[in-house]
Structure 1
Amino acid sequence: MAETIVNPVTIDELESLARQKLPKNVYDYYASGADDQKCLIRNRAAFDRILIRPRVMVDVSKVDTSTRLFSVEYPFPIAFAPSAMQKLAHPQGEESVARAAQRLGVNMTISSQSTTSLEDIASLMPNTPDGPERWFQLYVTENSALSTPLIKRAANAGYTALVITVDTPLLGNRINERKTPLVLPSNLHLANYKGSEKTKADNYRPSQERQLLDAPTAAQAKQVVRDAGGSIHSSSLTWTETISWLRSATSMKIILKGVMTEEDAELAVKHGVDAIVVSNHGGRQLDSAPATIEALPSIAAATKGQIPILFDGGVRHGSDVFKAIALGADLVLVGRPVLWGLAYDGQIGVELVANILERELSRTMALAGIPNIRGIDKKFLGLRRRDGFGIARL
């Protein structure tokens, strides 16, 4: 008989409770990865090889977890990642996450595939001089002009950055979704498309991506794209043309989500993007990709501090946040944990996720002998040797 969890105190306990509450197909949609889910597993397992080298005899009576990004101060280096269709997890969905972000003073990125409109979210997170920023995530469509109305709406609603997902020229081979397609119930819709400008982009549904993935021949795949009228995810993004087009379309900051190599990090700097997110889409795209924490050090070395580095993938503990910061991340995004908290208890559950991670981070800093977030760097880390004896310095 499974143990009854009354007062969850870890992210894993919250996930267990969320799994009990969510319909199986919804939980599986949120939790699963691509192919054999090896990348999904690596994202978490890779953290375990990294050890923290604690220092002693340091005054840690006051631990400061605050950080600054784009001249905005946050109480801790954790933000809410974009996640699609959050009303599947809770009736208030993105609204609860936005209220939690506003109350906690943390950054939130809303998904373009949200079940709450970007304008409604903006009304819950008004721009203030000392308040958290809110960003808008976008999948650029094959016909990029169809993305322009959404970009303009985000700018008009006061979003300060456009987070472009660049690792999705098509969906990864998500076997669970192909076998059990997730269909929005009749009372929910993709709020940023329904009722907006009358373009073919309004008709976009994730099912079109699945049709493309399942097309048995190249000719049939091309027909899916033609039928979608250019509203499907673009498979033709380029550094020169896409970044230039985005700069002409908006004055918002441009952040690229899905960078996993030092070569692309260098190109991001070269082409003047404002920040990158080291992300493998939560293991939902290329199953043979490395864990994000494995890719982070070389990417940080390549950017040489010229642009901020954001990070996501496998974060379940405050010590994971510590390790990511030590290896070069400026801000850590959490995705699935927010969904588990949301399913558990709406806004209260989301706030609990942030509070758990913040307390674990603060405790980790104190036990490692680091009183200030700016003091965290890789000299406090070691890598567990594969033979199990000793640690290698990073």
Structure 2
Amino acid sequence: MSGGAPLPEPTKEPILSISDLKEAADRKLPSLVREFYNSGSTDQRTIAANSDAFTKYHLRSRVLVNVRGLDTSATALGRKVRFPVGCAPAGIQSMAHEDGELATARAAGRWGVNMGVSSFASYAVEEVVDAGKGVVETTKSGDRGGEVVGSAYAMQLYPMRDRALQERIVKRAEKAGCTAIFLTGDSPVLGVRYNEWRNDFRTPEGIGFPNMERTSKQIRESTHDDGFAKMNDDSAAWTTEIKWLKERTKMKIFVKGVICGEDVRAAIESNADGVIVSNHGGRQLDGVPATIDVLEECAAAAEVALGAKCVYVGRPVLWALAYGGQAGVERMLEVLYEDFRRCMALCGCRTVADINRNCLARMGLDGVLRPLRRESRL
């Protein structure tokens, strides 16, 4: 491990990277589930861009910088986290592993990172939060004593036609201990997902959506598209949604799915507490830019020096669950942590606050590599 920590011992662990996790998951998951998790919309342009865009950015390593005592911790959702990564609110996790979101919560709690709970989670929000809290209790005097443990939880929410149900979900989440709402704003309709249509995708028998108060039988009576269309409110607007939520909860309200400066400014004007820059993993409108490519525009629109405070990962959680349940998610977080810590050390950053645009260069259309050079955090 870099930054003055001990080097890792040789291991026979086959999972050394996120790519390893995906390959392992692909081998284990049924094709119906694998395609649902991995596919994007229409021609898959945006899902490909989400990965390909990183090739335009290059890390600028530094030499002879004292990084002893390197500290990866940061603050997210009002609490200290071990490093600025969280588990995104990916739905139907029980398709990957029977413990689903419970396993994710336990892993997140042990690693001291935050977690989003999907409205379409396989387990109720109360069960998910309790699973994470249970791990923290056993960890206090265990093998992670003295380190950052525990999670803050956010409840992912869609604008819904049934306002009474939407309010019940909000109240349940707040009572369970969630501190934020992640309001998904990019889905007035579902994106065109050919694989779901070809496969007539329906949630596997036996898996319900307890947060949505829907049983497995009710879910399977309609297609994924039809079920969503009946639930989702396509009349949702900035002028109504944030105000409605603020009147019913003290939780922070973040708008998820923002990819342009105009919507960042709208979020500020609507009194939202923050935004999550996301193109929905390439599953909504195909052809929109990669998330990393719009981050600078969104940060500039907010007129703040700070950029992304925390990065939430979705598909790697699902792959990790398929690979090994809770242990798989812990291994995924370990891989990301080791990469993050090593990159900090080699770029001369002793703390997360030291990470700024000077750490990056970007390849221009003319083929010239230029440092970003702006004195602000990413």
| Shared fold, TM over 0.5 | yes
Secondary structure of 2:212's aligned partner: coil
Q: Establish whether residue 187 from structure 1 lines up as the match of residue 206 from structure 2.
A: yes
Deviations 1:280-307 (A, max 9, x none): 000000101111101000111111239x
Deviations 1:300-334 (A, max 9, x none): 1111239xxxxxxxxxxxxxxxxxxxx81100000
The within-5 A match list for 1:225-264 is 228=230, 232-264=231-263
Q: Which runs of 5+ in 2 are unaligned?
A: 1-11, 137-147, 374-378
Shift of 1:247: 1.0
Secondary structure of 1:178's aligned partner: helix
- What one-letter code is carried by the residue in structure 2 that aligns with 1:378? R
Aligned to 1:350: 329
- What one-letter code is carried by the residue in structure 1 that aligns with 2:37? Y
- What one-letter code is carried by the residue in structure 2 that aligns with 1:187? G
| Contact 1:60 1:370 survives alignment (8 Å) | yes
C-alpha separation between the residues in 1 aligned to 2:198 and 2:301? Answer: 40
Q: Which of the residues 277, 294, 312 maps onto 1:333?
A: 312
Shift of 1:207: 4.2
42-51 vs 117-126, which deviates more? 117-126
C-alpha separation between the residues in 1 aligned to 2:221 and 2:259? Answer: 24
Aligned to 1:120: 127
Shift of 1:205: 6.8
| Contact 2:109 2:149 survives alignment (8 Å) | no
- What one-letter code is carried by the residue in structure 1 that aligns with 2:164? A
Give the structure-1-normalised TM-score.
Answer: 0.83
Q: Establish whether residue 42 from structure 1 lines up as the match of residue 49 from structure 2.
A: yes
Q: Establish whether residue 364 from structure 1 lines up as the match of residue 371 from structure 2.
A: no
The within-5 A match list for 1:278-289 is 278-289=277-288
Aligned to 1:217: none
Over the matched positions of the two proteins, sequence identity in percent amounts to 38
The within-5 A match list for 1:45-64 is 45-64=52-71
The within-5 A match list for 1:76-225 is 76-126=83-133, 131-194=150-213, 207=222, 210-211=225-226
Aligned to 1:381: 360
> CA 1:70–1:114 in structure 2 vs 1: closer, same or farther (change >3 Å)?
closer
| Contact 1:108 1:134 survives alignment (8 Å) | yes
| Contact 2:108 2:150 survives alignment (8 Å) | no
Q: Establish whether residue 67 from structure 1 lines up as the match of residue 58 from structure 2.
A: no
> CA 1:205–1:350 in structure 2 vs 1: closer, same or farther (change >3 Å)?
same
| Contact 2:77 2:152 survives alignment (8 Å) | no
Deviations 1:237-285 (A, max 9, x none): 1111111111112111111100111111011112211111000000000
Shift of 1:51: 0.8
Aligned to 1:324: none
| Contact 1:34 1:173 survives alignment (8 Å) | yes
| Contact 1:37 1:283 survives alignment (8 Å) | yes
| Contact 2:77 2:180 survives alignment (8 Å) | no
| Contact 2:254 2:275 survives alignment (8 Å) | yes
- What one-letter code is carried by the residue in structure 2 that aligns with 1:333? Y
| Contact 1:21 1:344 survives alignment (8 Å) | yes
Q: Which runs of 5+ in 1 are unaligned?
A: 197-201, 214-224, 307-326
> CA 1:167–1:205 in structure 2 vs 1: closer, same or farther (change >3 Å)?
farther
> CA 1:235–1:36 in structure 2 vs 1: closer, same or farther (change >3 Å)?
same
| Contact 1:385 1:392 survives alignment (8 Å) | no
Aligned to 1:310: none
Residues paired across the two proteins, number: 349
Shift of 1:25: 0.9
Secondary structure of 2:293's aligned partner: helix
Secondary structure of 2:120's aligned partner: coil
Secondary structure of 2:346's aligned partner: helix
C-alpha separation between the residues in 1 aligned to 2:221 and 2:63? Answer: 52
